[in-house]
Structure 1
Amino acid sequence: MLKTKLNPKTFLPKIKSIFFKIQRYQMYVAKNKHLVGTISESLLNVLHELNNIHQSSIEDVKKQELLYVLFKNSFPKVLWNWATEQKVKSISIRFYDNVIAFVEGYEQYCNTGMTSPEANHSSRQLYWMTDGKFNNFWVSFYGLFFPKYPKYLFSDQARNLGLTESRGLQNIVQEIRDKGYHLFDEKLSREICDRLTKFAENALCKLAPHYPDISTEKYLRYDSDNPKSVTYRVDEQELANNPDIQNLIADSSIISVVQEYFGCRATLRDLSMWWSTAFLKGDADSSSAQLYHWDGDSVKFINVFIYLTEVTSQNGPHCFVRGSHLTKPLSLLRDGRFSDQEIENFYGKEHMDEIVGKRGTIIAADTRAFHKGKALEHSERLIIMLTFSMDLFGATYSSIQLSDGLTDALSQSMKHFPYSYSKFRVGK
């Protein structure tokens, strides 16, 4: 019988980690005995308190303050009670350790607006440990305190895209729930595409990745005849100052789709524009998201993509695994990149969609699903991505400073939907 010799350098750190997690769990339970209970009991108590606040005759501002206090005071108990009733396909102590890290991290986020790396890591871990059940529960609970904006607020707001006019809001949202994405009939106008393309051609972009042996400069303007990297990224701050972009993020039809999908209010987390090139001539670059992966920068989020150039199968279509936002096999429930073959083995080629489209094509996608940008064989692709999330907890984000000279559409939208622009600051 062969005996395996344990390597102390790898074995002992793992043992120490397990003991640390056990000790942390024991200390947390001992310190928070008031958390003991059932999820049904704790939710009923919260709903009772919510009803009392909503039925009170106090001013709306005071109600919002009381709702936020109730949320902060109640979510640790509700989430802990939910966790104790789960059956996870993992080591229980690891699961509870991540729940504790999330609760403590979210308490810190409520007080500071910042997310610690450990808290962000715990959020991602809880996603794959529960196959998304944690995320679904958390957003439904969050929605009790931060409900959708009422319909009357949308009646007189800018709806230049009119994304819900041809298919209807509920049909669009249901398709995202079923498939994971929706390809809109409406498109961004040719005139706006032209202006934004010209803007991107003149913008100083960050090369990603940067190849020092090819270019000593990390920032360059995109030259279609002589690309020096896979991706050229436009600065987010510069992007936010563009009037066409301001009108785009002010469009209330986008906000209505996103919040309806979430079941709660949504905030614009990230604003991106980038050129994808054929620099590697069809070979995929992992750092440029050209291999299948899933996103976990926030507990609940959705991306709105807009093609500013025509996209075919050969120049970088967004590839999406239909239905993979709903559940994933145990073998794929992990962070990292995945080959086409790994994805095809489980989901089948018939569920792997390549989304091609004319200039102005608009897509809304829940990128908890497996997805990628296909490596370009020729030409280039210019794309805009608006990332909306339920809050700003999660991966690091950049605040945006805007001057007082906003477009009328954005100025009005920020007044009506302030939560949706939480990361934006206006004026000096």
Structure 2
Amino acid sequence: MAYSAEKLIEEKVFKDPVHRYVHVRDRAIWDLIGTKEFQRLRRIKQLGTTFLTFHGAEHSRFNHSLGVYEIVRRIIDDVFAGRPEWNDDDRLLTLCAALLHDLGHGPFSHSFEKVFDFDHEDFTRKIILGETEVNEILLKVGPDFPAKVAEVIAKTSEKKLVISLISSQIDADRMDYLQRDAYFTGVSYGHFDMERILRVMRPREDQVVIKKSGMHAVEDYIMSRYQMYWQVYFHPVSRSAEVILTKILHRAKQLFEENYAFKYEPLHFTSIFHGQVTLEDYLKLDESVILYYFQIWQEEEDAILRDLCRRFVNRNLFKFAEFDPAKEYKKLAELNSLFKKAGIDPEYYLVVDSSSDLPYDFYRPGEEEERLPIHLLMKNGDLRELSRESEIVDAISGKRRTDHKLYYPADFLRDDSTKKNVKKQIRALLEIE
């Protein structure tokens, strides 16, 4: 029997708080889960610094990846099976891409990427195509199979329907993380009727479409996503922790470039600081490694690195103020000057952070990041773009919401004998009582 068709003698299941069970019967999927590259995802949190705001948010990319796989498995085995628009030869390709879609995420994900100019999708591709255990297993399916999986994840594959199951405005990735993140943060915003959505999904040549009768379930899903972004993902306290995390990494990198003598040499960062990180180096990084350095850097001679690490480890985060960069740029310049007079480095202690989200958009030809819209399948067989039928979705379509905050260390600005008048001016500008 070909490896691609090989089944386990007995089905394996993972107990899951969101989907109850994750079912695995394919030998290739079971083998991929057992690779060291996939197991590494247990040590990468799904929500980065959010655990410092919502204490239950300790779940991992491993949990999420299994969840995305399970949703896709249910769609193609229970909903699409036997439908002429679905090619069952794409089944294993779709399952593998769903399982491995987040494989390249680094510690604290997006914060880490911003500082070092990494792209987790690029590392996902390198893991799939490189000399890894994941690659060895995918090669058993066929010599070109790793490349096919990588193309689906990179959204360059000609199999548009397969891509849309994993990456679109209504995909398995979003459906899992909304529910999983809601569960572990303890909020109610991310819940929606996934069972209904799965039942009304239909395959088309280039994307998944939704039967018109399921429109209200999709409206609920989009509004759930909107609320999760503003109540959880962009929570200002989590963003404060992310600001400090980013500044720690920036400071360590700057000190390294200045030949600073670390008490504890950052061996795991050396190749990154030199801009010569290898896949092997990257795979050695997880959040336990990063937190180890933050722990020991609390004892460094450099006052800024020491302070920032203590803040992150002990959750002594920055406070924040509302800020409009378009109207308050003069205020920011004045604050920068006053911080310097007070002996506080504004590069590390006065930070503007912006968050932006577009909950739903329709197709705009020629624009950057063109978004394939959600289409409704009408009774007569025609397709209608969702916002044409839904007043709720039409009201938010194409509307990007952006929020700006100014972060600062309130404890540095207390009314003490050091630079008393300058700190008083800073507090007045920040409207601190």
**Which structure is higher in helix share?**
2
Please report the TM-score for the alignment, with normalisation by the length of structure 1. 0.21
Q: Report which structure shows greater RCO (CA 8 Å, sep ≥6).
A: 1
Please report the TM-score for the alignment, with normalisation by the length of structure 2. 0.21
**Which structure is higher in strand share?**
1
